[in-house]
């Protein structure tokens, strides 16, 4: 709200509150529609999404202009043009019984006609046209259509079947349950014209059944004979019970009764600010980089703080800790926590981020000048100092998970809304452009969906909804978006998933993507270099011949390499050139490049065949960096192996192909709640282990 000053509340409705505000940059009055997202249903989300999407597509002097939307204090705020003259319904009501002259009626009508013609040309149905949704300027001469909350964008269908709209304005075919099309909007336009001429609604009744009967009969009181026969005939034609006999909008505009008022309009379209028109969403996650966010490791029973038997014990337990190593930090360095508990962490090329228990985004940044050599003769680098801060621009929204890509970040709120910020290159932010954004901004195209998980790769993003729909956007090289092409997309596109499988989690690698289904089966697309996706058809221990090796897939394909194609996979991660998967039994299988020993178990340099990592206890989580691997045991143990340069393994050791434990500075038993590896860095969140009391 830093851009606006609230003046007063000008309306309240089922979806929220309408505020009159003043824009600080130029002092202009604007309308802010405040829609609470705390208790939003899916239908209400779709309604809010429709209004934003439709208003962005429309650009006409007789349609309310859309400015922007943003989240503020757990509410969606839609900023739009202010029409100070009130609604056409108010204007009619103030007339009492004093009828309007025909010229005034037609002056209003042709403006509505032009606006609706523009709407229909964009393949949009308004579906709730009424005098309450038609606004006037301060001189009450210019008409502006608003409230597109339940509009329908016709992408592939020519008709809409949802029963919507104000009952007094719904068409007979909608009363019968027939599909809604442009002719239903023309019926509503006829009702508006009748209301202008008679100062009352064409169809009114004491209850809904009586209203439906009245609409179905098509009977209404005749308008005054002071009006021309042409006007009365136009109303009769628009309110014809047979949709096919109602005139088209271009036919109405060609009528002699409408030509003169159309020519008399002094509408200077050149003065209308032009906006870039964005395409509608085509019909087309994991909190850490490529991993499910906020998952708690371990199979032991764990209770809440209420399971502690005394207040003394409660105060003796520390809060969670976050450690980092790599990029010259050779042993785990505890990061400042600001007195909060980080439940989930994520790493990008330049970002270290986490989500606190209270739902805030926290970021850790190295202090400028830290990590310099302390003395000219020093041979070891001093550990850099990090500062922590809460991210600005969250505006009271509760964050559930965060995922970092290269130079950009995606976060998901507790209400299933995705916000992104950072570099807009490759369209990774999903805002329909390639612009950078400094503070979290809603991905508007997904506003109507309840997202349950989001995952960022280096330059692409995938998200899963609560209804198992999958959307992808960003860079498309190697087919990593799963859309059948290598095209880049700057707004979310729906991904086709095999009908027999339902997406549960998505995992984005540097140049590839994996879906874990609800049945714990794997689907993958993108680069399969070194068979890091497991797309080669392998049934034994022998590597397939080159002719049978899959190099890349542009759509999601079932993983074919045994035992990944038969075991239930509960957790996995993809590195630059290798992958690791954890089965339901706690076994860790690894495959791909082993140039620096990151496969551990394989004597050869590379292995396209998944092999079991020996010597590990039951594993709950894995993470893959550029040339090293990390595994988390069920008891909270942290093991690393592979390339050791610049502290990748969390200990002062060069390349090591044998899993070894990393020592953390914890005085109490702990479990690992979240882990992330990116390039040569690791970020790890741990929390105290609290055991459930055993009932005697």
Q: Over the stretch 221-248, which tens digit does the pLDDT of each residue have?
A: 999 999 999 999 999 999 999 999 999 9
Same domain (yes/no): 630, 498: yes
DSSP sequence for 479-505: GTTSSSS---EEEEEEEP--TT--EEE
Which whole number is the average pLDDT over 174-191?
85
CATH number at residue 31: 3.30.200.20
Position 573 confidence tier, pLDDT thresholds 50, 70, 90: very high
Q: Which two tokens stand for residue 228?
A: 């021309």
Does residue 46 surpass a pLDDT of 60? yes
Residue 298 has pLDDT above 90, yes or no: no
Domain of 624, CATH number, reads 2.130.10.30
Is there a single domain that holds both residue 68 and residue 107? no
Instruction: Give the domain CATH number at 117.
Output: 1.10.510.10
**148 and 75 in a common domain:** no
Q: Are residues 58 and 98 in the same domain?
A: no
For the chain, what is the domain count?
3
pLDDT surpassing 50 at residue 160: no
Mean residue pLDDT across the chain? 82
pLDDT band at 47 (very low <50, low <70, confident <90, very high): low
Single residue among 13, 48, 81 that ends a domain in this structure: 81
CB under 8 A, 24+ apart: contacts of 361-365: 361/390, 361/391, 361/394, 361/399, 361/402, 361/411, 361/440, 362/338, 362/388, 362/389, 362/390, 362/391, 363/388, 363/389, 363/390, 363/391, 364/322, 364/324, 364/335, 364/336, 364/388, 365/389
Give 642 or 207, the one with higher predicted confidence: 642
Is residue 589 located within the same domain as residue 476? yes
Predicted confidence at residue 395, as pLDDT, reads: 59
Choose between 14 and 108: higher pLDDT: 108
Whole-number pLDDT of residue 196: 95
Q: Which of 252, 271, 290 is the last residue of a domain?
A: 271
List, by residue number, the catalytic residues: 128
Same domain, 441 and 503: yes
Domain that holds residue 98: 88-271
Q: Return the closest-CA partner of residue 337 out of 325, 314, 354.
A: 354
In tens, the pLDDT along 493-517 reads 999 998 888 999 999 999 999 999 9
Residue 629: its pLDDT value, please?
A: 95
User: Is residue 367 over pLDDT 70?
Assistant: yes
Final residue belonging to a domain, choices 81, 107, 134: 81
Residue 604's pLDDT is 56
Residues 43 and 149 in one domain: no
Judge if 486 and 607 occupy the same domain.
yes
**What's the confidence (pLDDT) of residue 495?**
96
Q: Write the pLDDT tens digit of every residue in 373-395.
A: 444 444 445 567 899 988 876 65
Residue-level pLDDT at 691: 59
Residue pair 345/677 in contact (Cβ under 8 Å)? The answer is no
Give the per-residue pLDDT at 696. 45
User: Per 3-state DSSP, what percentage of the chain is helix, strand, and coil (rounded to 5)?
Assistant: 20, 35, 45
The radius of gyration of the chain from alpha carbons, rounded to an integer in Å, stands at: 31
Does a structural domain hold residue 285?
no
pLDDT over 60 (residue 157): no
pLDDT of residue 653: 78
Query: Does 602 or 595 have the greater pLDDT score?
Result: 595
Tokens describing residue 27: 């002092």
Residue 205 pLDDT greater than 70, yes or no:
yes
Domain identity same for 321 and 175: no
Q: Report residue 6 as tokens.
A: 């609230």
Question: Does the global pTM surpass 0.85?
Answer: no
Cα–Cα distance for residue pair 492/494, rounded to 1 Å: 7
* 52-56, 72-76, 445-449, 573-577: range with lowest mean pLDDT: 52-56
What pLDDT, in 10s, does the model give residues 427-480?
999 999 999 998 888 898 888 788 999 999 999 999 999 989 999 999 999 999
Same domain, 471 and 422: yes
**Residue 148 domain flag:** yes
The token pair that represents 122 in the structure block? 């964009």
For residues 389 and 391, what is the distance between their CA atoms, to the nearest angstrom?
6
* Residue 647 and residue 541 share a domain: yes
The mean pLDDT value for 345-368 works out to: 89
460 is written with which tokens?
């692409």
Residue showing tokens 């932010």: 429
Higher pLDDT, 285 or 521: 521
595 shares its domain with 683: yes
Q: Looking at residue 7, what is its pLDDT?
A: 92
- Average pLDDT of span 263-271: 56
For the stretch 74-86, pLDDT in tens is 778 888 899 999 8
What average pLDDT score do residues 510-536 get? 94
Reported confidence tier of residue 131, pLDDT bands at 50, 70, 90: very high
Which residues, 6 or more positions from 404, have their beta carbon under 8 angstroms from its beta carbon?
288, 289, 346, 347, 348, 351, 353, 410, 456, 676, 678
């Amino acid at each position: 709200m830093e851009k606006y000053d609230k003046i007063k509340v000008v309306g309240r409705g089922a979806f929220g509150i309408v505020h009159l505000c003043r824009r600080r940059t130029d002092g202009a009055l604007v309308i802010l529609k405040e829609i609470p997202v705390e208790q939003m249903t899916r239908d209400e989300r779709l309604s809010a999404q429709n209004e934003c999407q439709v208003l962005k597509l429309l650009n006409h002097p007789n349609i309310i202009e859309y400015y922007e939307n943003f989240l503020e204090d757990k509410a969606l705020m839609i900023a739009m043009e202010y029409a100070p003259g009130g609604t056409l319904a108010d204007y009619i009501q103030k007339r009492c019984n004093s009828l309007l002259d025909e010229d005034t009626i037609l002056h209003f009508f042709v403006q509505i006609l032009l606006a609706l013609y523009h709407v229909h040309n964009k393949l949009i149905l308004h579906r709730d046209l009424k005098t309450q949704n038609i606004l006037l300027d301060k001189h009450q001469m210019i008409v502006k259509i608003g409230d597109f909350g339940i509009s329908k964008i016709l992408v592939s269908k020519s008709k809409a079947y949802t029963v919507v709209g104000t009952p007094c304005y719904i068409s007979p075919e909608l009363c019968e349950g027939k599909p809604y099309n442009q002719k239903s909007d023309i019926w509503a336009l006829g009702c508006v014209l009748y209301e202008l001429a008679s100062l009352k609604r064409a169809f009114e009744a004491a209850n809904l059944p009586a209203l439906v009967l009245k609409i179905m009969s098509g009977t209404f009181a005749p308008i005054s004979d002071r009006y021309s026969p042409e006007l009365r005939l136009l109303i009769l034609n628009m309110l014809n019970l047979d949709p096919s006999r109602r005139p088209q909008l271009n036919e109405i505009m060609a009528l002699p009764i409408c030509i003169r008022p159309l020519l008399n309009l002094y509408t200077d379209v050149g003065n209308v600010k032009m906006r870039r028109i964005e395409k509608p969403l085509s019909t087309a996650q994991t909190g850490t980089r490529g991993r499910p966010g906020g998952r708690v490791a371990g199979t032991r029973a764990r209770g809440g703080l209420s399971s502690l038997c005394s207040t003394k014990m409660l105060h003796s337990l520390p809060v969670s800790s976050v450690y980092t190593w790599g990029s010259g930090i050779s042993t785990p360095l505890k990061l400042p926590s600001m007195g909060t508990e980080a439940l989930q962490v994520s790493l990008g090329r330049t970002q270290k981020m986490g989500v606190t228990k209270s739902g805030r985004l926290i970021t850790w940044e190295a202090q400028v000048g830290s990590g310099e050599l302390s003395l000219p003769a020093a041979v070891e680098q001093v550990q850099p100092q990090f500062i922590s801060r809460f991210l600005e621009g969250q505006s009271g929204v509760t964050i559930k998970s965060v995922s970092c890509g290269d130079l950009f970040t995606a976060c998901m709120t507790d209400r299933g809304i995705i916000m992104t910020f950072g570099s807009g290159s490759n369209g990774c932010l999903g805002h329909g452009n390639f612009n950078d954004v400094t503070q979290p901004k809603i991905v508007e195209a997904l506003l109507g969906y309840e997202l349950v998980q989001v995952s960022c790769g280096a330059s692409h993003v995938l998200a899963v909804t609560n209804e198992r729909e999958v959307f992808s956007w960003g860079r498309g090289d190697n087919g990593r978006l799963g859309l059948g092409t290598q095209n880049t997309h700057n707004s979310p596109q729906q991904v086709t998933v095999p009908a027999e499988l339902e997406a549960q989690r998505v995992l984005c690698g540097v140049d590839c993507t994996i879906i874990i289904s609800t049945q714990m089966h794997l689907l993958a697309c993108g680069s399969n270099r070194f068979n890091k996706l497991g797309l080669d058809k392998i049934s034994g221990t022998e590597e397939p011949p080159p002719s049978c090796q899959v190099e890349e897939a542009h759509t999601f394909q079932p993983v074919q390499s045994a035992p990944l194609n038969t075991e239930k996979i509960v957790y996995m991660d993809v590195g630059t050139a290798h992958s690791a998967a954890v089965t339901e039994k706690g076994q860790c299988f690894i495959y791909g490049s082993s140039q620096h020993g990151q496969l551990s178990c394989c004597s050869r340099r590379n292995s396209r065949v998944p092999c079991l990592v020996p010597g590990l206890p039951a594993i709950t989580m894995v993470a893959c960096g550029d040339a090293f691997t990390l595994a988390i045991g069920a008891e909270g143990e942290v093991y690393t192996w592979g390339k050791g340069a610049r502290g990748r393994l969390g200990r002062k050791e060069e390349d090591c192909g044998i899993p070894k434990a990393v020592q953390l500075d914890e005085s109490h038993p702990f479990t690992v709640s979240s882990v992330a590896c990116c390039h040569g860095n690791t970020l790890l969140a741990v929390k105290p282990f609290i055991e459930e009391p055993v009932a005697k």
